[in-house]
Amino acid sequence: MGRVIGKQVNVSRRADLQMLLATVIWGSSYLFMKSGLESMQELNLVAFRFSIAFIAAAVIFHRRLFRMDLKTLVAGTIMGTALFAAFVLITYGVQRTTTSQAGFLISLAVIFVPILSTILHRRMPDTRLMISIIVAVAGLGLLTLQHELSLHTGDILCILAALTYAIYIMIAGRYIPKHDPLTLGTIQLGVAAIWGIGATFLFESPRLPDTPESWVAILGLGVLCSGIGYILQTLAQRHASPTRTSLIFSLEPLFAAAFAFSFQGETLTLQGYTGAALMLLGVLITEIKSLDVRFWRRKRGTLPAELGEQGASGI
């Protein structure tokens, strides 16, 4: 029994490390987007990002793709469409606000998920959710409202991106348990790439990156942030509870702010830092449930089942 428990603990720790690494990678994505958008338009950047990610994933998981069925293809198409919509808003938003501010605003997706779930299931939100919403909205006001008390375009786009990404998370949560997650993840990247390429030809002038910095940004977004990031997320969630998964992912805006400060010298005002801290607190309130004292009374033999609890989350 001791060896089994030790093995489960090691698996759980490995999942935590995988999620943490994915979160760090996603925190760097805002910096890569800023750099890539200096020489490319928004839709063009999205198209390149997901095309590179799909090619990388397809090379690794090509055998799984050959075995996919129609239901998996349909599910991946729906997920990929929602993912594309979210990242179009994210990319336009990042172009029109600061890197660190975008990271905090898009983290609102973690709060939008329980709000949407409450609406869909037609039940009143619990006290914890209401408190988290109030705290997050207060932080949002401090972070985004300037002296003229108005939201900037980039802020609005990032908030809409958070809402759209929350919808994507809910869609993914519905389909992932029913299909092979790696196949599903690869398909969604391909669908997002197709949407991006089509939109680029319709609304922009397609072009290749023309500077080394742009190529580094595109490859970073495609291979690291979209390819490796989503693979790590999928692998980690097989061995992680929903609370632990969402809690670690909620650290993404902190890494985004750290990258922005380190490489771009971005800083917030005292009001901005206070607002960001309140937003993060609102996210944590949403994700951290009160510890049930009965857990400590459970028999030791039930521990492996607890450690093996699976979950689904999203960024």
- 220-274 pLDDT, tens digit per residue, is 999 988 888 877 776 666 665 544 555 566 677 778 888 888 877 777 778 878 8
**pTM of whole model > 0.85?**
no
Host H or E run for residue 109: helix 109-120
- CA neighbor of 49 nearest in space, from 202, 192, 206: 192
Question: Is 301 buried (19+), middle (13-18) or exposed (0-12) by CB count in 10 A?
Answer: exposed
Q: What local confidence, expressed as pLDDT, does residue 291 receive?
A: 39
Residues sharing a CB contact under 8 Å with residue 104, sequence separation 6 or more, in sequence order = 143, 253, 256, 257, 275, 276, 279, 280
Rounded mean pLDDT of 87-92? 94
DSSP-derived secondary structure letter, 302: G
CA gap 104, 253 in Å, rounded: 5
Count of beta carbons in the 10 Å neighbourhood of residue 146: 11
- 189-219 pLDDT, tens digit per residue, is 999 999 999 999 999 988 888 888 889 999 9
Q: What is the dihedral of CA 36, 40, 42, 48, to 10 degrees?
A: -70
Residues sharing a CB contact under 8 Å with residue 74, sequence separation 6 or more, in sequence order = none
* Range picked from 56-60, 97-101, 198-202, 252-256 for highest mean pLDDT: 198-202
Rounded to a whole number of angstroms, the distance between the first and last alpha carbons of the chain is: 36
Statement: residue 17 has pLDDT above 50? yes
Residues sharing a CB contact under 8 Å with residue 122, sequence separation 6 or more, in sequence order = none
Host H or E run for residue 256: helix 252-264
Using alpha carbons only, what angle is made at residue 156 by residues 153 and 157, rounded to the nearest 5 degrees?
Answer: 85
φ and ψ at 184, to 5 degrees? -60, -45
> Who wins on pLDDT, 51 or 130?
51
Residues in the chain: 315
CA gap 27, 187 in Å, rounded: 24
